[in-house]
Amino acid sequence: MADTTSYKYLNKQLGIIVKGCGSIYREMINEALLKVKENGKYNSIYNRWFSENSEGPE
C-alpha cells in the first residue's frame, strides 16, 4: 500500500470541478483562492502540508 503520509504521494496537480462555466461556485472558489494567495495564507498552508520540509500538523 502507498505511503499516504508522504508529501510525495500528492506530487500531482489537483483541480476543482464545478458544473457550468458561469457557476456561482466557480466565482466563489476563484475569489477565495485569490484572497488567500494575496494575503500569504496559501503559501503558509502549502509549505506546512506539501513542501519537502513539511512536518505536517503540530
Angle at 51 between CA 45 and CA 52, to 5 degrees: 155
Q: Assign 29 to helix, strand or coil.
A: helix
- Judged against a pLDDT cut of 90, whether residue 25 lies above it is answered with no
- Judged against a pLDDT cut of 60, whether residue 9 lies above it is answered with no
- Judged against a pLDDT cut of 90, whether residue 38 lies above it is answered with yes
Nearest residue to 28 via CA among 18, 37, 38 = 18
Q: pLDDT value at position 19?
A: 80
User: pLDDT > 70: what percent of the chain?
Assistant: 71
